[in-house]
Structure 1
Amino acid sequence: MTHRVVTAHPGSSFEQVAWFLRNKDVSVVPVADDDSCSGPLWGAAV
């Protein structure tokens, strides 16, 4: 299993990150809650 860190940078919207995580169907640990797009890191075990 490969472990990846998805980085939400200014060029990547919250929706794009959420879409990626949903389509990977993995366990996600968001650093920021749904109301905040400022969280820099989203951890996902892919």
Structure 2
Amino acid sequence: MNRWTAFVLAAVALVSLSACNTVHGVGKDIEKGGEAIQRAVK
């Protein structure tokens, strides 16, 4: 893993953790992340 990939993953994790305050919010964030990955793969 190069530095850019590590930076992007850390930034995404930071935004995800700061954006959700509850367990329900975490589930929604993970679901949206999965949907984004599916759209990118298609």
TM-score, with length taken from structure 2: 0.34
Q: Which of structures 1 and 2 has the bigger CA Rg?
A: 2
Structure with bigger RCO (C-alpha 8 Å, 6+ apart)? 1
Hey, which of these two has a bigger chunk of strand by percent?
1
Hey, which of these two has a bigger chunk of helix by percent?
2
